[in-house]
Amino acid sequence: MNEVEKLLYEGKKEIDSLEIPIDIESTLRSALESTPNKKKKNIKGKVAALILAVLLLGYNMDTLAFYGKKLVGYENVMNGTLKELNQLGKGQTIDKSHTFSNGVKFTLDAIMLDNNTMVMFYTLYSPDENVMDVDSNTHISITNMQDKLFTYGGSGDANKNNTEMKWVISTHEAPKLSEKTMKVNLSYIHENGDIEYGDIKFKIDRNQAVGKSLKISLNKKIKLDQRQIKVKSLIASPTTTIVKGQIQNIIELGLDHINKNRIMPNDIEMALIVDGKEIAWEGSGISTNMKGINFDVRFEAIPTDTKNLQLKLISFSGEYDVHENIHLIKDTSKNIKILGQDIEINNVYEKEGNTYITITTDKDTLLSKVYLYMDGEKVELVETIPEKSENHTRTLKFQGTGEDLKLNIEKIKYKKYYNDIIYSYDK
């Protein structure tokens, strides 16, 4: 490998590791000065030709982003990862706008794309210094040209003059290679109720993608009470880290529905610890489709020089079918256990023609669907009256009274803590 090729190779390694690249001019000058005088002219020409070839043939087109303009004004809504990528000049400039009839202007400034997500940076402008109200009246959706919808999450921040708002949003999946043109669909609701529409179309330049992803197959099964979930993979990219898994496949989901023994997941909480520091959590999602119930948990990007890593399951919360009937006696207490959750029935009493049941549970346990049978008649819950105490006691109110009482608990919702290590890595 000659000196010039070595310099280009080292430069490419610097870019791939997302570190600030060495200065090209000083590097080439140093290379030329280290060469005998009689060969300087020759090598200088070769260096220029090689650099031109790099730029034209796309040896590493990401290098172009280092010299493009950086996003300004997004500091308050960028996380640490995006700030670093922005400092490196990463991303694709879009700079396309749509202006509504009242002067409200939506500008898609730029995107950052990798295998995990598409991050979009946009500005909302209001000429009337009411950008917060304008933001509430402006709705966007992201689709490809076949109208496939991309869900997203993000945050925004308004300036002091209330004329401009900067938003950073990230799609929950990245566009596929075949999805070359994307569309931002806009709608604005005017004060009189009229709705005005617009859109911005843009082409994805994958040469300006911020980098590649690393996928680690985990395929770890974890037991949760009478069920188990599967943590399938961890995907690390320059913008984010995503853990993907499955709670139930379609067969398990169907059998539970038939047997009236369903689970309706609410949230799964994980922690990602790298070199002793916890990586910031960005969000999570649970979806049900023809493949079953699947989940993903998102964190900020992990450092490229990571030496050790731990992925932990912190907690899981969901709603469960239980169909429990509890016989009650007035003016008495009772302790019961459902799916491992302690439920204390403190008192059962009548007052002003109504029946009241006072219960105490853990702070994360809720009887989400409950009825009371009074002498065989099914009665719906009127209201839940909270207590002022800190022991999570409340009173259930049912209209009417009866002698034979049965509390019918159809569903229970609770959160269980685990703190189990799912995956660990030491370099």
Three-state SS annotation for 192-213? CCCEEEEEEEEECCHHHCCCCC
Give yes or no for residue 296 having a pLDDT over 50. Answer: yes
* CATH number for region 80-208: 2.60.40.1640
Give yes or no for residue 60 having a pLDDT over 70. Answer: no
CATH fold of 214-319+417-426:
Immunoglobulin-like (2.60.40)
pLDDT in tens, 227-245: 889 999 999 999 999 999 9
Whether residue 284 contacts residue 294, with contact meaning beta carbons closer than 8 Å, is answered with: no
pTM over 0.75? The answer is: no
Which pLDDT belongs to residue 69?
A: 56
- Give me the helices (H) in 77-179, please: 80-87, 131-137
The domain defined by 321-414 carries CATH number 2.40.30: yes
Give yes or no for residue 59 having a pLDDT over 50. Answer: no
Dist. CA 187–CA 100, nearest whole Å: 9
- Rounded to 10°, the helix 40-57/24-33 angle is 150
Tokens 């933001």 — which residue?
135
Which pLDDT belongs to residue 16?
A: 44
Which pair of structure tokens corresponds to residue 92?
């694709």
Same fold, 80-208 and 214-319+417-426: yes
Give, for 376, the enclosing helix (H) or strand (E).
none
Which pLDDT belongs to residue 68?
A: 46
Q: What is the mean pLDDT of residues 86-104?
A: 94
Dist. CA 336–CA 345, nearest whole Å: 8
The more confident residue out of 64 and 137 is 137
Which pLDDT belongs to residue 226?
A: 72
pLDDT in tens, 17-31: 443 333 333 333 333
Q: What is the mean pLDDT of residues 73-77?
A: 91
Q: Which of 18-27, 76-85, 186-195, 360-369 has the lowest mean pLDDT?
A: 18-27
Q: 225 falls in which pLDDT band (50, 70, 90)? A: confident
Which pLDDT belongs to residue 190?
A: 96
Dihedral angle computed from the Cα positions of residues 273, 277, 283 and 286, in that order, rounded to the nearest 10 degrees: 10
Could you give the percent of the chain with pLDDT greater than 70? 84
Which pLDDT belongs to residue 325?
A: 96
Please tell me what DSSP assigns to residue 123: E
Give yes or no for residue 360 having a pLDDT over 90. Answer: yes
Q: What is the mean pLDDT of residues 64-71?
A: 50
Q: What is the mean pLDDT of residues 173-190?
A: 96
Give yes or no for residue 38 having a pLDDT over 70. Answer: no
pLDDT in tens, 187-217: 999 999 999 999 999 999 999 998 888 899 9
Dist. CA 8–CA 218, nearest whole Å: 36
Give yes or no for residue 47 having a pLDDT over 90. Answer: no
Q: 252 falls in which pLDDT band (50, 70, 90)? A: confident
Q: What is the mean pLDDT of residues 400-423?
A: 95
Please tell me what DSSP assigns to residue 19: P
Dihedral angle computed from the Cα positions of residues 59, 62, 67 and 70, in that order, rounded to the nearest 10 degrees: 170
SS3 168: strand
Measured in degrees and rounded to the nearest 5, phi and psi for residue 29 equal -65, -40
Dist. CA 109–CA 97, nearest whole Å: 8
Q: What does the mean pLDDT of the chain come to?
A: 85
Contacts of 288 (CB under 8 A, 6+ apart): 253, 294
Give yes or no for residue 35 having a pLDDT over 80. Answer: no
Q: Tell me the domain boundaries of the chain.
A: 80-208, 214-319+417-426, 321-414
Whether residue 318 contacts residue 264, with contact meaning beta carbons closer than 8 Å, is answered with: yes
Dist. CA 154–CA 137, nearest whole Å: 17
Contacts 24+ apart (CB under 8 A), 324-330: 324/408, 324/409, 325/373, 325/406, 325/407, 325/408, 325/409, 326/406, 326/407, 326/408, 326/409, 327/405, 327/406, 328/357, 328/405, 328/406, 328/407, 329/405, 330/405
